[in-house]
Chain A
Amino acid sequence: MEKLLSVRNLRTIFHTYRGVVKALNGVSFDVYKKDFLGVVGETGCGKSVTSLSIMRLIEDPGEIVDGSVVFEGRDLLKLSEEEMQKVRAKEISMIFQEPKMALNPVLKVGYQIAEAVSTAEDLPIKSKEVQEKVYEILKAVGLPDPESMVEKYPHELSGGMAQRIMIAMGLVTKPKLLIADEPTSALDVTIQAQILHLIKELVSEMGTSAMIITHNLGVVAEYCERVVIMYAGNVAEIGNVKTIFKEPLHPYTKGLIKAVPVIGTKGKLQTIRGIVPDLVNPPSGCRFHPRCDHALDICSKELPPIKEVEPGHFVACHLYD
């Protein structure tokens, strides 16, 4: 498979009054062409920070301190801001968690989509080509009556409709990569499936790669081909969804999968003991070792490097040295 995006050793920190939060501690993974990749982990594990770092949308007091994000041969972290704006306009799109917050409340949704087209293709926002593209994408995302839809303001839409608008805005430029940061977490369960179906259908039609960030393993199992498991700013395991669910290697992945409730079974739900570490003073070595049942001496001393244990299956754990 051909690589589209290679993230290597990405480190992002946040300067706070309590100290430096080491949010990403050397994250590495690849996204292939026509990939449908899930990125999973608990709240605060750095999923969103990873996506924002790829887009270079980390704001002060955050800072990307190390690593590379190679997209089609160019390191995005080395581009000028103007060049990066072009990448955001044309090549990588992003969809956010709360669709109604992510849309500007004082602008018509049609205008907001048209703005994406006009920025990407350098056309005037009111031109006919732009308008036609807006209508076309609105039909593609399943919104009826595009002519009246473009006149609406975000507060007139339901959450699901607003997320469809966001998807339209992200895909109208036919990007090479779509990053969806928890696209369904704020939506009704019944709408979640529709939205994910829609994303999957549209990206495969366009040949776009997708990176879906979620904390929901069900979403990954249902829709993704590959998955990256993150824990406390590190990648724990990467692999094919089927492999990971059948034979998880990393103790954290194993714990996560066991913690998913299965309908019809009774008894106490399995949990991972302990809590997510404070990233101002993270545990030394492997950040998971205080919660790990199989921890070795080395685990508290050295950060395990990520290794390929079988083709396409990577794990960062000293147990597999």
Chain B
Amino acid sequence: MDEALQIITNIIHDLPGGKEMGLLNFIIKRLLLMILVLFGVLCIVFVIANVIPADPIGALLGGNAPPEVVDQYKHKLGLDKPLAQRFVDYIAGVLRWDLGVSLRTNNPVTEDIRKFFPATLELAIMATLISVSLGIWLGTASAVNRNKGVDHFARIFSILGVSMPVFWTGLLLLLIFYYKLGWLPGPGRLDIFIFPPKTVTGLILIDSIIEGNWTAFWNGLQHLIMPAFVLGYGGTASIARITRASMLDCLRQDYVRTAKAKGLNKRLVIKRHALRNALIPTVTIIGLTFGSLLEGAVLTETVFSWPGLGRYITNGYLVLDYPAIMGGTLYIALIYSIANLIVDILYAFLDPRMRV
């Protein structure tokens, strides 16, 4: 990986004006690397889909299908071609943004993704918002009040977050807040009797704001909060732990002592001087957490019947819907790479030393 980065760096440096480009140079470099990563994912996904000793035709038609129908389907799906030919075809398809046709829904996979992804995106964004704000707040409070009540609470909360599986937390919260207390609505994105807003972005909250449909907004938010919390809990925990550790480190630094010697009050010393430095490692974790969000979305969406990409892929697994599985995985890898690219750019904003 590092070698690849080095080679790309050299290539860019050799381009005319390559040395002066700074941030742009950096972004181009990351984009090229991203293509490499995605190609790797594509290869792995393709190999796995083809070495699994399971027959999608069998899953599709059942065990008693007549051989001529099986052959007909094999031809239709292109499974009668040699493996290498299929690989090249698949890559050619990906380049044209054609991921094949789902065996289960009979729609092009790209269209299914467009339909299901906004729900996942909405969930992941909300989960990120929850985990970033809660995690940073908890981590900071914990570091500042080290070994006191808040710190112990935050540490227990974090340990639970990293160790409880998403499907279990999800069921537990559903049991408490939906079934027993009835405070929050159950599965799905909206209640049955709520008119969904017209699809513009596919994100219910944003679409209902655009339409001014506050009933749908409020209902959508209530539906969103529990799955988003469940999904974000693990991330909250890691962010809180990293923030705590890096905050403790920053509080020991000389510049924090300088800030105190200047007569700043404790709040400003923490907010202005320690936190900004402490957030630099936290940002890395946020990018990585985003990956686990997409991964956790598969489980969360199943538990909460959330019609998102995670559930689409899970349902694909059940019937060996290879085009859907491969396309969905590739798409998630793409989103994950973009999220980490954004994180890398964020670094430069947080830390002036990275802008050189």
Contact = CB atoms under 8 A, between A and B. Distances in A.
Nearest to B350: A106
B254 A96 contact: yes
A93 B257 CA distance: 12
Contacts, number: 71
Interface residues of A, number: 29
Interface of B: 253-255, 257-266, 272-273, 276-277, 350-353
A85 B258 CA distance: 12
Given A105-B277, A153-B353, A155-B352, A57 B257 contact: yes
A89 B263 CA distance: 4
B352 A55 contact: no
A119 B261 contact: no
Contacts of A106: 276-277, 350-352
Q: Is the interface of B mostly helix, strand, loop or mixed?
A: helix
A51 to B, nearest CB: 10
A103 B255 contact: yes
Contact of B254 (A87, A98, A119): A98
A101 B253 contact: yes
Contact of A153 (B264, B265, B352): B352
B353 A104 contact: no
A119 B273 CA distance: 14
15 contacts: A57-B260, A82-B265, A85-B263, A85-B264, A88-B262, A88-B263, A101-B253, A101-B255, A102-B255, A104-B259, A115-B262, A115-B272, A119-B262, A153-B353, A169-B258
Interface of A: 55, 57, 81-82, 85-90, 93-94, 96, 98, 101-107, 115-116, 119-120, 153, 155, 166, 169
Nearest to B261: A94
A311 to B, nearest CB: 34
Nearest to A106: B276
Residue of B253, B255, B263, B277 contacting most chain A CB atoms (<10 Å): B263
A250 B153 CA distance: 55
Contacts of B350: 106
A102 B262 contact: no
Contacts of A166: 258
A153 B254 CA distance: 16
A102 B257 contact: yes
A246 B259 CA distance: 41
A5 to B, nearest CB: 16
Interface centre among B254, B262, B350, B353, by most A CB within 10 Å?
Answer: B262
A155 B353 contact: yes
B254 A101 contact: yes
A214 B272 CA distance: 31
B258 A96 contact: yes
- Of B264, B266, B350, most buried by chain A (CB within 10 Å of CB) is B264
Contacts of A103: 255, 258
A55 B260 CA distance: 9
A107 B277 CA distance: 10
Contacts of A96: 254, 257-258, 261
A80 B273 CA distance: 23
Nearest to A152: B352
Contact of B261 (A90, A93, A105, A107): A93
Counting chain A CB atoms within 10 Å of each CB, the highest count among B255, B257, B264, B265 belongs to B255
Contact of A119 (B257, B258, B264): B264
B277 A104 contact: yes
